[in-house]
């Protein structure tokens, strides 16, 4: 069976590669703007479905896997920072606090559809201004929800997590494996 990752994210590709899954990556260009009043969990699941549906329309016989991630702190969504100043502001906001990471997942196979959201709590250490400046200078957080990469240098910002680590990276592989297994598809 062909497996298609509806994403250009190198992190999501690394997660699937780590499982030994053979797949093709196809970017799904969808409008990622939140709808008025839309909760984070609902938004990422909607976006995951939109990405899966878009790619599945072109690849109807493949198992299509899609995901979308956002970070929420104090009720505010922190998507990808616009620039270094935005990244700095995100890290100051997250410093010494616990935030939520929501990843909406969607699978499509033929006429079948399945979507769900996984939530993970992440607690940051209290960061010094110097730590924030040095991290922002790396540029690592600029294309990541919340402005950090837990699988990279951003690991040093994190005091602990409660939930799925891979979800924070960008896709809960355990949840995807279970969802595919419900259709009789073994990814591992």
How many C-beta atoms surround the C-beta of residue 52 within 10 A?
29
Pick the catalytic residue from 2, 68, 83, 129.
Answer: 68
Task: Give the C-alpha distances (Å, rounded to integers) separating 149 from 32, 54, 160.
Answer: 20, 27, 14
Query: Which residues touch 66 (CB under 8 Å, ≥6 apart)?
Result: 5, 6, 7, 28, 48, 49, 51, 52, 55, 105, 106, 107, 108
**What is the C-alpha to C-alpha distance for residues 108 and 57, in angstroms, rounded to an integer?**
10
68 in catalytic set = yes
Question: Which residues are catalytically annotated?
Answer: 68
């Amino acid at each position: 069976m062909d497996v298609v990752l509806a994403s250009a994210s190198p992190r999501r590709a690394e997660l699937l590669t780590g499982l030994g899954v053979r797949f093709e990556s196809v970017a799904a260009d969808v409008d990622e703007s939140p709808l008025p009043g839309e909760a984070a969990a609902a938004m990422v699941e909607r976006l995951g479905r939109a990405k899966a549906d878009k790619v599945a329309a072109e690849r109807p016989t493949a198992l299509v896997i899609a995901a979308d991630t956002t970070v929420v702190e104090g009720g505010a969504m922190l998507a990808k920072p616009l620039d270094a100043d935005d990244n700095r502001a995100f890290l100051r906001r997250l410093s010494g606090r616990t935030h939520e990471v929501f990843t909406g997942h969607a699978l499509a196979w033929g006429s079948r559809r399945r979507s769900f959201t996984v939530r993970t709590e992440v607690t940051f250490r209290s960061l010094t201004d110097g730590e924030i400046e040095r991290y922002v200078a790396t540029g690592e957080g600029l294309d990541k929800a919340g402005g950090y990469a837990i699988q990279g240098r951003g690991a040093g910002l994190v005091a602990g997590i409660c939930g799925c680590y891979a979800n924070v990276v960008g896709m809960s592989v355990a949840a995807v494996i279970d969802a595919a297994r419900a259709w009789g598809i073994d990814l591992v």
